[in-house]
Every structure is written in C-alpha cells, then in structure tokens.
Amino acid sequence: MKITKANGVVEYQLLAQLKQRAGETDPKITEAVTTIINGVKEGGDEAVREYTVRFDGSVPKKIEFDKDEIHAFLDQVDPAFKDAVVKAQQNIYDFHQRQAQQSWMTTKESGVIMGQRIRGLKRVGIYVPGGTAAYPSSVLMNAVPAKIAGVQEIIMVTPPGKDGNPNPNIMAAAAVAGVDKVFLVGGAQAVAALAYGTQRIPKVDKIVGPGNIFVATAKKLLYGVVDIDMVAGPSEILIVADSTADASFLAADLMSQAEHDMRASAILLTTSESLAKNTLREIDRQIKTLVRQEIIQKSFDDYGEIIVCDNLRQALDFANELAPEHLELCVAEPLKYVGMVDNAGSVFLGNWSPEPLGDYYAGPNHVLPTSGTARFFSPLSVDSFVKKSSFIYYTPEELKKAKDDIMLLAETEGLTAHANSIKVPVSYTHLTLPTT
C-alpha cells in the first residue's frame, strides 16, 4: 500500500482500475457454469448428485434437514456463540421490522378505488458457503428480513464439510433465523436446483446469499428464471478520516475487509499526511499477528491506497464517485457530513463504529451493493422479499368521463385495439352493467 497526494488525476486512475476489475469476466467459468445449469435443468437430482461427486468427492449420507433437525444443532454449539447469534438476530430483527410496508387502498368520491397489495414471496432460497468461508452471520442477514416480509418458506443450501456433515454454527444460525429446510449441496449445481427445482429440492422465487465465483456466475446467468439479490463483487472499504482519527483503528478496519479476498479494495482518504504515515506503520505492526496476512498484503498491493486530500469535501466527492460498499467517516463531526454522502452501501459514523459492527451485530444488513453499484442499488432489505400488485376499480360513469383522453393516447401510439377496448364498453346506451 502506498501514499499518494490527491490532484484530481491519481485518485481517479485508481477509480478506473477498480471499475475495470468489476467488469472482468472469465469466459471459461461462464461456459462451465452454463453446462452445470443445463445439466441440472435436464437431469434434476441425479445431475446434482453427479456434480457433487465430481467437485466435492462424495455425496453426504444425509442431504435434507427439516425444521426440527435444524433446531437440534442449537445444542451442538458453544453456548456463548449461541447467545451472540441470538443477540445479533434481535438487533437485525429490530432494524428490519421498521422497513415493513402495509398494503393500502384509497376511495375517491366518484366511486373509483385504487390501491396496492404487498405480500411476501412464496419461497426463497438462501445460499450459504460452508467451507473456509462459512458465515453464520450471512444466514441471519438473509433470513431475518425474509421472515419479516412474510416469506412462506425459506430453503437454505450449503455444502457439507469434509466429514459429510453440515457446519453446526451455520445450522444453529439457521435455527435462530427461522430457516424451514436445509439441503447439503453447494456450488453452481445448488443454485440451478433452486432456480429450476428438482425431485427433491423445491423451486424458489428468489435466491440470495454469497458464494464463490461459480455461485455468483450461476446467479447472474439464472436471473430472469429466478430473482436474485445482486451480483456481488469483491469486498470494499473506503475510510474518510481527518486528523482526529486514530491510526491504529484505521489500520485495523482497512485490514478487516482486505482479508476477505485478494481482490478486495481498501482505501483511506485523509486530510492529514502524518495520519497517513502512522496508518501505514500500524498496518505493518498489526498484520504480523493476523492469520490471513498474505491475502491482506496482496489486496493492499493491488487494490489498496492511502490518498492525502486537501479537504473533506474533496474526499467526499471521490467517495461519491467510487460508491463503496462500506464507507467510514472517521472525522470529528461525522453527523455534519453524512448528508453529503450520496452513494454508499452502508455508512459508519465516527471512530467507534468499526465496519465489523455492521457485518455481525448492529442491525443494518451486511448484504450490500459492490463495484460502484451503490449508485443505483440498495442493501438487502424487507423490500427484497416482497412483491407488489396494484389494483384499479372504475365505475361506468367514470370510465365514460375518461374515455376521450384514453382513446386519444392509445390512437396516438397507433394502438387501435387499446382504443377499441375503451370504445366498446362506453358505447352502450344504458350503463346498467353490474358494478361489482
């Protein structure tokens, strides 16, 4: 990681590099995943089994777990871990329940009725990695808002461990979050099974959750067959700091995201050159104690940078252009500047709100837009698991009043059948048709 001085050019060269990374695709992976998807579509459970043997070596003896079996894992985990999961679930629930919307209807004096019906999706699939990247927190972040939305059934897929059994911590989190059924299957074949349905694995309406490049590619290719949360890119953190920030805090937070992936980006924008230098020294000191230091170092070398800015306005302008997944405002008066942030997945205010607080515990969702998509995408929420239908009721009299305008609009567009659909009912001399 190097220190550079913002000049309106160098910082945007970094931005261009990050955008190029986001747009990279591997044709070989796309081809391989397409083959898997087509195989599962045609072959169902047998194809899922074959791909599981090919990629994982064997098929676990027990594949399916119902709700009672899921809950049994609560007795297999460390009690302290269980308590932490329960507390996190409560915080996540409290935050997301405020997002819930109600159906509505309005009636005009003319008798016209309009409204919107909001209801949860019927069935949702959650993909949860089960290898070295086993994240119980992701179970909570995906399942809790789905439950609040009124999703009728939550299906979780997760690869088995080397012993053929599920990760007990993931299963315990699934129990706390309210998952209805778990299937021990992973990879692109699991995503395809959820999208199309097999003899055993039910077809879902939406697939959410993180995964490796094969899982992400499968979700991308199957969008349209099934809804997805988003196509997630490498993790990102951008910290804006002034001279009041603590270098040791900044170093720790930068590394917390860099350890996710060699392609993760960790950037510090600061108005203090001395803070920039001290942060580098803190990185060198702290990284020696961390298990994933090689990943962190590679991430810093390729996609990390400390940029010294003239002022916070310059830093925030760049932050809005980058639209990072995670944005920290480690400044003296963070609330003063939060209104200047237009594009960010999640914003962490002050020196005592480190990024992992959002990853695990505080309540806001950690499934966030990456690769600059925070310009137009939002974090996973209750809205992600609902569908909305509008409804319209007109009386004969009100339809007759509106006919000329509607027919004019239709005929202007050259859609004469549309115009005719209005003309026919209003041409009746007696408006005596039933009104209900």
Q: Which pLDDT belongs to residue 23? A: 61
64 and 155 together in one domain? yes
In this structure, what CATH number is given to the domain that contains residue 136? 3.40.50.1980
Q: Is the pLDDT of residue 156 over 70?
A: yes
36 and 116 together in one domain? yes
Q: Which pLDDT belongs to residue 410? A: 97
How many residues are listed for the chain in this entry?
A: 436
Q: Is the pLDDT of residue 178 over 60?
A: yes
Q: Which pLDDT belongs to residue 433? A: 54
DSSP code at position 202: P
Q: Is 326 a catalytic residue?
A: yes
Report the C-alpha gap between 355 and 319 in whole angstroms. Answer: 16
Q: Is the pLDDT of residue 74 over 70?
A: yes
In this prediction, residues 99-124 reach a mean pLDDT of: 96
**Under a CB-based contact definition with an 8 Å cutoff, are residues 295 and 275 in contact?**
no
What pLDDT digit, counting tens, does each position of 116-148 carry? 999 999 999 999 997 656 789 999 999 999 999
Report the C-alpha gap between 396 and 431 in whole angstroms. Answer: 6
Which of the following is catalytic: 259, 305, 325, 328?
325
Beta strands per DSSP E along 143-254? 153-157, 181-183, 206-208, 227-228, 236-241
pLDDT band at 233 (very low <50, low <70, confident <90, very high): confident
The verdict on residue 8 lying in a domain is no
The verdict on residue 13 lying in a domain is no
Report the C-alpha gap between 316 and 336 in whole angstroms. Answer: 12
What long-range pairs does 332-335 form, CB within 8 A, spacing at least 24? 332/242, 332/244
Report the C-alpha gap between 257 and 252 in whole angstroms. Answer: 9
202 and 63 together in one domain? yes
- DSSP per position, 102-113: --EEEE-TTS-E
Report the C-alpha gap between 96 and 94 in whole angstroms. Answer: 6
Residue among 81, 40, 28, 76 at smallest CA distance from 186: 40
Which of the following is catalytic: 259, 260, 282, 326?
326
pLDDT band at 26 (very low <50, low <70, confident <90, very high): confident
Q: Is the pLDDT of residue 22 over 70?
A: no
Q: Is 325 a catalytic residue?
A: yes
In this prediction, residues 370-397 reach a mean pLDDT of: 95
In this prediction, residues 325-330 reach a mean pLDDT of: 98
What pLDDT digit, counting tens, does each position of 187-220 carry? 999 999 999 999 999 999 999 998 888 999 999 9
**Under a CB-based contact definition with an 8 Å cutoff, are residues 129 and 77 in contact?**
no
This prediction has a pTM of 0.91
Mean pLDDT of the chain: 93
Q: CB count, 10 Å around CB of 221?
A: 18
Q: Which pLDDT belongs to residue 436? A: 52
147 and 278 together in one domain? no
Structural domain count of the chain: 3
358 and 408 together in one domain? no
Report the C-alpha gap between 144 and 94 in whole angstroms. Answer: 10
In this prediction, residues 371-397 reach a mean pLDDT of: 95
In this prediction, residues 293-320 reach a mean pLDDT of: 95
Residue-number span of the structural domain to which 259 is assigned: 233-376
What long-range pairs does 388-391 form, CB within 8 A, spacing at least 24? 388/116, 388/117, 388/118, 389/116, 389/117, 390/114, 390/115, 390/116, 390/117, 391/105, 391/113, 391/114, 391/115, 391/116, 391/117
Q: Which pLDDT belongs to residue 131? A: 63
The verdict on residue 388 lying in a domain is no
In this prediction, residues 377-397 reach a mean pLDDT of: 96
186 and 298 together in one domain? no
224 and 291 together in one domain? no
Final residue belonging to a domain, choices 200, 228, 256: 228
Q: Which pLDDT belongs to residue 132? A: 59
191 and 275 together in one domain? no
Q: Which pLDDT belongs to residue 24? A: 65
The verdict on residue 1 lying in a domain is no
The verdict on residue 253 lying in a domain is yes
Q: Is the pLDDT of residue 430 over 80?
A: no
Final residue belonging to a domain, choices 181, 212, 228: 228
329 and 416 together in one domain? no
The verdict on residue 12 lying in a domain is no
Report the C-alpha gap between 374 and 162 in whole angstroms. Answer: 37
In this prediction, residues 5-21 reach a mean pLDDT of: 83
253 and 270 together in one domain? yes
In this prediction, residues 250-269 reach a mean pLDDT of: 94
198 and 245 together in one domain? no
pLDDT band at 431 (very low <50, low <70, confident <90, very high): low
413 vs 6, residue with greater confidence: 413
Percent of the chain with pLDDT over 70: 97
Tally DSSP H helices, then E strands, for the chain: 16, 15
Tokens for 325?
């997944």
Final residue belonging to a domain, choices 196, 228, 260: 228
The verdict on residue 6 lying in a domain is no
147 and 253 together in one domain? no
- Reduced to 3 states (helix: H, G, I; strand: E, B; else coil), residue 434 is coil
The verdict on residue 408 lying in a domain is yes
Report the C-alpha gap between 238 and 29 in whole angstroms. Answer: 30
Placement of tokens 């002034």 in the chain? 242
Q: Which pLDDT belongs to residue 226? A: 97
Tokens for 427?
């041409």
